[in-house]
Structure 1
């Protein structure tokens, strides 16, 4: 086997300095981390429209990819909806590779070198994340942030699921939610007249005529060059799944700017999203009222930017505000960590709820980006899914023509959020909800197919449902996007629809 030891060795060396007690566990987790990232990469190679792959041929013993330069890449049949790590090695011509970073390096594709480095970081950081885990308690968490911190492996389908370039081992341990730290947020004081503010900026984040904009300590040190002072307005907070969003004492969540590349994106906060946040929040609240109580949307309490994507923050409600007596609100990405029964009936109930809400809003003109981080499910005391909660409206899509057709007032929105392109609206919902949240919960193409078959006949017969039942499922081409730095915006792949085609 061939592998690139650089990122793994760097993390091992740093770990020996800052947490030597984790060193042996880290080494033990590396093979599984390689397989987890390689499985995600193989999914991309098998299904994304990568220009240097001429054709793909399934056979009795697996899948063979014929590359444009004449080489052949062979691996197992690729289930695009599998979340378990089932790819331990792939063969390029006669050489087997178990390290995704080394594999991408020898493929020598355009823009592959930086992506290969990110894959190496993803493997090393994932092994570090797994090494720091303790046995999960049998009791369900009491706090919202505890659910978030149970998600150890990150994005279920992105090869960069744990890539955190620019973060030292000490910083990953200090800020990564899966390591369960308490983060001391600081603030930067800026005159209100020098900021763009929407909504009602919290009184507790003001100092006279100045706004106290929450700042992540990594951002303060590496970007703003202003290390946080724990004695100067700092707040003890708990990081959520996205790492840059944290739960504050007393309930609200704050999304901070974090100008580092995590998975695909640099996590700053644009002035565009700040400007639209209050309008979107009010609009979403009115839409949720049209779902017969099946959906709540967390309200944006306030948003501010010092006219810089590196110094901005959004404060919003905790999803726990929508839990009734005995109920729990759980991010969909965290469902796999619960003690819920592995039940096709439960999965069908959840799928029915999610598709009912998602398709109803799509018909009315709003496509949610309902992946496992943005979408949460309210569970009753017996574990039944009863309602949904949605958070983070920054990447939804709104179709004015559909809104007008249903007599819904069109909000004053501009830019990328607004589109009447029907395929774009469907891609946004189906790619995030069906190929994302539902597939990640199901864990395989067979389980996803069973859940969809159990519910699609019960749903209102719309053109959107017909497209869902008959066409390939869209998904973001995450690897193609990382290998296309000159192409802005999302790029898409089409996955075999389990309602139409048997998925390996």
Structure 2
């Protein structure tokens, strides 16, 4: 095997300076972190439309990829819905690789060097995240933010699941939710006349004629380069830039760092549309017989810059009755769920019912495991859903009009009547994301879906879900295509198929 890439050694050296007690544990979990990221990368190589992969041959002993330069890359059969780290090594011609960053470097594909560096950071940061975990507890948390902090490995399918370039080890320990810190948010004063405000900005975040805009300390130090003397103690949620404030509300801050795929700033347009989107979503959710709640946007503000903005939202816990728990779908594994095929089928039925009814009405949710939460009874039964963060939904004026629903005054990318775009948004996030991540394998996902779709009205959307390839963002292709704007897509084998693998 090859020597470790630079990122792993750099983290080890920084760790020795700031948390030497974690050094041995970090070294011990590195092989598992490499396998976790390599598994995600192998999924992409096996299923995404990468231009330099010219053929795929499935044999008894695994999958072989034919590359444009004549080389062959061999690994195990690739379950596109698996979440376990089952790929410990792949072979490029006769050379074995257990390190995804080294593999990408030696593939020598266009833009591969930059992506290899990101993947190297992902491995090192994932190992750091795992090294810092306390002994596992089966007790259910008392606070909503504690559920979020149990998500250690990040995105279940992205090779950059824990990539945090620009963050030192000390900053990852101080701000990463899986490390369970308390983060001191800064408050930057901005004259009201220089701000765009949507909704109601709270009096507690005003100072006379100035708004006090919450700022993440990383953003203050590295991007805004301002010193914040006042602060609010908050608990980071799984997106890192969104935090739970005292008393319950959540604040999404601008964070101009590339986490997984995207730079996490907040566009001026999203601030402008936030109040309209929030009111519209509340009205639409009321049509779903209590099966869905959407967290309200309480207020949003920007100093006319995506680098200095914030959105205040209701906590999802607002929608929990006594004895109930509101859990992000990405954190279900931390609860010991799904505990049975029957539970997964019940949850899938609930999620598909809500998602497909909204799609028929004219709204496609980006219902991945971070945005979608499930309300559980005291015994763990799935009761209803909560959705948060409306910034990336898609809304069809034609479908709304067909059902006599007033079309909100919205512009930009959220508005589309393109059927493929609407289905991609929902199917790629809900089925290939949230449900697949909860199922953990293609076999479990297939069984849950086959049970869940019984009784659903056979609309064109349902037919497409059951019969057509499943669209999913081509996350690796997107990272290897820096000059191509917008999302790119892969087609996964339909999980209803007789043998999709």
Match of 2:163 in 1: 163
Match of 1:317 in 2: 314
Match of 1:116 in 2: 116
Alignment of 1:290-329 (within 5 A): 290-329=287-326
Q: Deviations over 1:105-159 (max 9, x none)?
A: 0000001111000000000000000000012222200111100000000000000
Alignment of 1:54-453 (within 5 A): 54-229=54-229, 232=230, 234-340=231-337, 342-453=339-450
Match of 1:50 in 2: 50
Cα deviation for residue 502 of structure 1 reads: 1.6
CA distance in 2, matches of 1:447, 1:375: 20
2:240 alignment partner, SS class: coil
Q: Deviations over 1:72-115 (max 9, x none)?
A: 00000000000000000000000000000000000000011110
2:39 alignment partner, SS class: helix
CA distance in 1, matches of 2:276, 2:362: 16
Say what the alpha-carbon RMSD is for the aligned residues.
0.8
CA contact (8 A) 1:3 1:98 kept: no
CA distance in 2, matches of 1:405, 1:226: 50
Match of 1:31 in 2: 31
CA contact (8 A) 2:257 2:263 kept: yes
1:457 alignment partner, SS class: coil
CA distance in 1, matches of 2:33, 2:296: 37
Hey, which bits of structure 1, 4+ residues long, moved more than 3 A? none
Cα deviation for residue 446 of structure 1 reads: 0.2
Cα deviation for residue 389 of structure 1 reads: 0.1
Cα deviation for residue 341 of structure 1 reads: 5.5
Cα deviation for residue 211 of structure 1 reads: 0.4
Q: Unpaired segments of 5 or more residues in structure 2?
A: none
CA distance in 2, matches of 1:181, 1:336: 22
Question: TM-score scaled to structure 1, two decimals?
Answer: 0.99
CA contact (8 A) 1:217 1:227 kept: no
Cα deviation for residue 493 of structure 1 reads: 0.2
Cα deviation for residue 461 of structure 1 reads: 1.3
Q: Unpaired segments of 5 or more residues in structure 1?
A: none
1:174 alignment partner, SS class: helix
Match of 2:41 in 1: 41
CA distance in 1, matches of 2:47, 2:329: 24
CA distance in 2, matches of 1:469, 1:494: 14
CA contact (8 A) 2:338 2:344 kept: no
Question: TM-score scaled to structure 2, two decimals?
Answer: 0.99
CA distance in 1, matches of 2:97, 2:350: 42
Cα deviation for residue 454 of structure 1 reads: 0.7
CA contact (8 A) 2:138 2:335 kept: no
Cα deviation for residue 3 of structure 1 reads: 4.2
Question: Is the deviation greater in 337-346 or in 431-440?
Answer: 337-346
CA distance in 2, matches of 1:469, 1:366: 20
Cα deviation for residue 455 of structure 1 reads: 1.6
